[in-house]
Structures are given as structure tokens and as C-alpha cells.
Amino acid sequence: MTASFDNLLYDLDAATGILTITVNRPTKLNALNAATIGELGEAIEQARADNAVRGILLTGSGEKAFVAGADIAELAALSGPGAQEASARGQAVFQRYETSPKPVVAAVNGFALGGGCELAMACHLRVASENARFGQPEVNLGLLPGYGGTQRLVQLVGKGKALELLLTADQVKADEALRLGLANHVVPQAELLDFCKNLLLKILNKAPVAVGLTIACVNTYFTEGGDAGYTAEAKAFGTAFGTADFKEGTAAFLEKRPAVFKGN
């Protein structure tokens, strides 16, 4: 199944259930304009609603950039109220990736700057090629991140380092991103997509309901605080006990065989 977009490639591998969404503006280093953000929103809504999609791989076209930032010419034309609305729209789209019950892995194949870094951070896991670069350079333009960068960077690397990166606009190489926790893995460019697909397949072998509940509980900690997170975890734990996958998982363990999960 392939959906049609102007600025994205949307390719579903029916055999594995892995959907690859590729930001496809190579002449602009895959920079995010309003149209592309809108299409990213349409793509994640379609993916979340499609039972054939089990996991999502998000990347950029070419070998230079995942997403090199926002479309600066478009940003320069915005007014204050218009910029606030654009920020809110972008935040809402990125949040749909972050809250997807289906795992989302970013294959960061080059520059992930500004909105690109924010998009990668909205994914559940980030795998970087050796030439990847992460950064939030907005203060160089008299701006600040508008798509969740001031929030997610703190969650991933801690307040002190996040503030340093946000205030200096320094870029982080792949090995440093790995050390900081901004990247989960670093691999050679030629191995990036296969590594990400294998990582997704490892997750997709687990119980889908349990995976989705786990993502939701982790997100609750950051959106609502510790007490709400514990409450959400207890509720989700009870929900998991009512699934057929729980019965299958425990039966498989006791019978010393691989579990076959069906997502219910």
C-alpha cells in the first residue's frame, strides 16, 4: 500500500507491517515548510488508523539530511500571532508521533537541525548514521524552538546540557548524541535503514497492546508528572491482564515456546 503525498514518501512493507515515511525535499535538505508538516500530520493519522501498519520508520531522503530545519523564507514572512499558530500546529503533529501506540523509530541520516531535531526527538527511538548532526540553532535567528524542542531536549539529555545546546546553538555529532542519550544507536550510513528495520522487528515481536500501553505510561510521566504516571501504569497493568496476548505470553513461557501475539 502506498499513499500519495507531495513532500513525503509513504511505503508500507506488507510482509513486516513496517511503514517507512520519508521526508522528500532533497533540494531543500528536507526542510519543513507548512505543507510538509501538514502532510506529516496526515501520514501519522493514516498510519495510526491502518491495522496493516505495525511500526513506523521515519527518515529523510538522500544522505545529507534527515531534516535540516524549517523553511526559513516561510518563517520570515510570519507575524507574531501567525508564528504562534504555526508552532501550535507543529507541536500537535509531532505529538501524534510521540503518542503513537505503534513504535516510531527515526533513522537520522544526516543533519537533524531545528525542526528536524524536534521531529527526531518526537519519535520513540533515534538511530543515527555516523555523519548525523543534531542541534537547535534557533537562537542564531533570534528565535527559539517552536515544535517542542525546549521540552523534549530536557527530557532526553537533562536540563543543564539542554540549556547549553539551546543557548549556544552548538551542533552535536553522532557519537556525542549517543553519549548524551539523544541517540540510541550510531551505525554506518549504509547500514542505517536495515538496522532500524531490525530494531522495529524486535519490538514488533512483542505484544502490541503491551507495547502501546508502555509508550503511553512513559509519556504520562513527562506530561502529567510522577503521581499520574504511577496511576497510569497501574491501570495499564490491569488492562494488560485482560488481553489474549497476556494469556498467550504466559502460556508460551510456561510451555517453553515462542509466543505468538495477535494484538488483542
**What is the chain's alpha carbon radius of gyration, rounded to the nearest angstrom?**
19
Q: Assess if residue 111 is contained within a domain.
A: yes
Q: Which residue has the cell 511500526?
A: 55
Of the residues 184, 204, 224, the one at which a domain ends: 204
Q: Does 52 map to a domain?
A: yes
Shared domain for 126 and 232, answered yes or no, is no
Whether residues 219 and 139 share a domain: the answer is no
Are 164 and 212 in a shared domain? no
Is the same domain home to 81 and 159? yes
- Statement: residue 1 has pLDDT above 80: no
Instruction: Tell me if residue 260 falls in helix, strand or coil.
Output: coil
Indicate whether 120 and 224 sit together in one domain. Answer: no
Give a yes or no: residue 104 inside a domain. yes
71 & 45 share domain: yes
The pTM for the full model equals 0.95
- Residue 22 pairs in a beta bridge with 9, 59
In-domain check, residue 239: yes
Q: pLDDT digits over 236-245, tens only?
A: 999 999 999 9
- Which residue type does 202 have? K
Per DSSP, which regions of 149-239 are E strands? 172-173, 185-187
Mean pLDDT of 98-103: 98
Amino acid of residue 143 = L
Residue 218 and residue 160 share a domain:
no
Distance CA 151, CA 238 (A): 30
Task: Tell me, yes or no, whether 15 and 129 share the same domain.
Answer: yes
Mean pLDDT of the chain: 95
Grid coordinates representing 127 are 538511530
Degrees (nearest 5) of the Cα angle 191, 197, 201? 140
Counting Cβ atoms within 10 Å, is residue 208 exposed (0-12), middle (13-18) or buried (19+)? buried
Distance CA 264, CA 262 (A): 6
pLDDT at position 75, please? 81
Q: How confident is the model at residue 2 (pLDDT cuts 50, 70, 90)?
A: low
**What CATH number does residue 156 fall under?**
3.90.226.10
Please give the grid coordinates belonging to residue 30. Answer: 528536507
Total number of domains constituting the chain: 2
- What is the pLDDT confidence band of residue 3, given thresholds at 50, 70 and 90? low
Q: Tell me the C-alpha distance between 21 and 50, whole Å.
A: 14
For 178, other C-beta atoms within 10 Å of its C-beta total: 18
Cell of 155: 527530557
Output the CA angle 212-133-39, nearest 5 degrees: 50
Supply the range of the domain harboring residue 167: 2-204
Please list the active-site residues: 118, 138
For the chain, how are helix, strand and coil distributed in percent, rounded to 5?
A: 55, 20, 30
Provide the β-strand partners of residue 135: 113
3-state DSSP assignment of residue 206: coil
What would the mean pLDDT of 71-90 be, rounded to a whole number? 88
Spatial contact of 228 and 116, defined as CB atoms under 8 Å apart: no
Span 112-168, pLDDT tens digits? 999 999 999 999 999 999 999 999 999 999 999 999 999 999 999 999 999 999 999
Same domain for 163 and 230, yes or no, is no
Average pLDDT, integer, range 176-197 = 98
Pull the grid cell for residue 90: 507543529
> Which phi and psi angles does 60 have, rounded to 5°?
-120, 155
104 and 184, same domain (yes or no): yes
